[in-house]
Amino acid sequence: MRMFDTHCHLALLYQDPIEQIRVIDDAKRSGVICLANISTNLLDFNSSYRNTKNILNIYHTVGLSPSEVNNPGKDWESKLEEALSMHGVVGVGEIGLDYFHKYGDRNAQIEFFIRQLEIASNMNLPVTIHNRQAGEDMKNILRTKISHGGIMHCFSEDIEFAKEMINLGLYISFAGNLTYRNAKNLHKVAKEVPIEYLLIETDSPFLTPHGFRGKRNQPAYMSDTLNFLAELREMKVEELAEILFQNSLKVFKIKDIK
């Protein structure tokens, strides 16, 4: 059985390159043989990419999250485009909108998000999208600005929202909070999302699955979410794992793995 963690943050787990490699080794021993290292700013991308760029089946995305809107750095657009052209970089993200934390003002967040969607479109890359309490603006923007698909990461909306995102070519990804007993809305959506658009992730070091609560999340813990989702959907774990693995390759346009 093989798994693909479509969203983890190696730079947020550890700055030490040896610790980052240990996390990857632990993941592979648990069956997570591929992972997407998601960077939310250029500094984290540069450090984690340098540490792991030569490791087999480790892929990268880079984008500037809403938290960076007030201080993206000098020449951030050209630096982002340069990073996106590097070997093993398979997407733009995480980018999006976050009205819960109130980073900057809403108009600034929207402009920042749209500019990165345009960069993704120009470079023919999928996007990994962060959406927190910004559903209506998110839908309105994506209806005209999404062009090469991507992922609604750590999904938290309802099934109607999910269907609209799928119609725009986006996959729906669930994190460890799916396993929480009180997450009934997520359970319902996770059962109803068409399986060909379904993904899972860890979002590590955040959202540790129920079976590992009290520990810092890491890619090796993703099997807990997989097992829970298989039970929800009344499927064999091995069958679901392979479908999700193939979906992960498709969304990131990865043709072959070794």
* Segment 228-247, tens digit of pLDDT: 999 999 999 999 999 999 99
Give the Cα separation of 174 and 18 in Å (integer). Answer: 28
Q: Which residues of 116-147 are buried (b: 16+ CB within 10 A; e: fewer)?
A: bbebbeeeebbbbbbbeebbebbeebbeebbb
- What number of helices (H) and strands (E) belong to the chain? 10, 8
State the angle between helix axes of 159-167 and 184-192 in degrees (0 to 180), rounded to the nearest 10: 40
pLDDT of residue 102: 85
Give the Cα separation of 33 and 228 in Å (integer). Answer: 20
Q: Are 113 and 93 in contact (CB under 8 A)?
A: no
pTM of the predicted model, to two decimals? 0.96
Domains (range + CATH), the chain: 3-251 (3.20.20.140)
pLDDT value at 208 more than 90: yes
- Per-residue pLDDT, averaged over 221-228, amounts to 98
Q: What confidence tier does 122 reach under pLDDT thresholds 50, 70, 90?
A: very high
**Type of residue at 29:** R
- Per-residue pLDDT, averaged over 39-58, amounts to 95
- Per-residue pLDDT, averaged over 202-220, amounts to 96
**Type of residue at 164:** E
Q: pLDDT tens across 132-143, in order?
A: 999 999 999 999
Strand order in the sheet with 89-98: 3-8, 32-39, 58-62, 89-98, 127-132, 150-152, 170-174, 198-200
pLDDT of residue 257: 83
